[in-house]
């Protein structure tokens, strides 16, 4: 066992874990943050995307010990004071989900796309950027629409919320 400490959704956490524990397993099983999903065992689906020090990562590809001392944000950490993050609201308003399984990863990736590419996202850019996120339900049309709308909404949101 080894001791790992990090900040998750603004809260300091420490736990004794097996060194081989994946970050996604640590989040789901140790911290019970089950909004981060596991949809594959091949690092392809993107259901497990979280932000590690502000950047999107597939948490099934990161060991928890690699996040030692880092700041992690999961889908549970996006809302502020009970208000959905603008990207979450955009998915709801634009019907960007059906079963919802891929949605946490889609939203975490979407926020990261806006951070890297800015608020004016065209369809081709969004579709290319979503290469690492798979959805089995929606056909992607409304996901693309949601991300375009969410990007615009983030630009108008208070700075703190738009940042994360
Ligand atoms: S669980 Fe599928 S990419 Fe991580
Ligand atoms: S909404 Fe069902 S997998 Fe994407």
**Strands across the sheet containing 55-58:** 11-17, 2-8, 71-73, 49-52, 55-58
SS3 124: helix
Using one digit for the tens of pLDDT, what is the confidence trace for 21-80? 999 999 999 999 999 999 999 999 999 999 999 999 999 999 999 999 999 999 999 999
Pocket of ligand 1, beta carbon within 6 A? 38-40, 43-48, 58, 60
Using one digit for the tens of pLDDT, what is the confidence trace for 112-155? 999 999 999 999 999 999 999 999 999 999 999 999 999 999 99
Instruction: Report the half-sphere exposure of 114 (CA within 13 A, side-chain side).
Output: 25
What pTM value is reported for the model? Answer: 0.94
Q: Which atom from ligand 2 is nearest to the alpha carbon of 106? A: 4
> Counting ligands in written order, which one lies closest to the CA of residue 46?
1
């Amino acid at each position: 066992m080894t001791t790992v400490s990090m900040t998750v959704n603004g809260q300091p956490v420490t736990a004794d874990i097996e060194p081989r524990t994946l970050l996604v397993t640590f989040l789901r099983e140790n911290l019970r943050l089950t909004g981060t999903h596991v949809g594959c065992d091949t690092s392809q689906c993107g259901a497990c995307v979280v932000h590690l020090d502000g950047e999107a990562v597939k948490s099934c590809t990161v060991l928890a010990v690699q996040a030692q001392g880092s700041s992690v944000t999961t889908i549970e950490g996006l809302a502020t004071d009970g208000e959905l993050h603008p990207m979450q609201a955009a998915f709801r308003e634009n019907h960007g989900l059906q079963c919802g399984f891929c949605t946490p990863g889609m939203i975490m990736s979407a926020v990261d796309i806006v951070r890297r590419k800015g608020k004016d996202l065209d369809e081709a850019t969004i579709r290319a950027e979503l290469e690492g996120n798979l959805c089995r339900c929606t056909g992607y049309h409304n996901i693309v629409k949601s991300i375009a709308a969410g990007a615009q909404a983030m630009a108008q949101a208070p700075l703190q919320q738009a940042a994360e």
